[in-house]
Amino acid sequence: MNTKKDMAKPKINEEKLYSELNLELLDAIEKAEPLGTPMIAHAGLSLFTQMALDCAPSEISGLGFVLDTIRDVRRDEGCECDE
């Protein structure tokens, strides 16, 4: 007899999925390199900003999430850019 516990979904390894997502994004960026950094950055920022706004309960909270992320990235000293 199956119980709810037996039928539970397997635990997701978020750290592994996050790492794989980053690798896939870096591969996509590398393939798009001929477009240039500004266009790639614009495309990514547009896509992910719209995703945050679409998923948020309100536009204000979505914008807050985006701004918090920008602040976090600015504090990250490991960020490299080919200016």
CA distance linking residue 47 with residue 38, whole number of Å: 14
Q: How many CB atoms lie within 10 A of CB 35?
A: 13
CA 29 to chain centre: 13
Rounded to 5°, angle at Cα 28 from 48 and 18? 60
> What is the pTM for the complete model shown?
0.67
- pLDDT tens, residue by residue, 5-54: 656 777 889 999 999 999 999 999 999 999 999 999 999 999 999 999 99
Instruction: List the domain boundaries for the chain.
Output: 36-75
- pLDDT tens, residue by residue, 59-80: 999 999 999 999 998 776 665 5
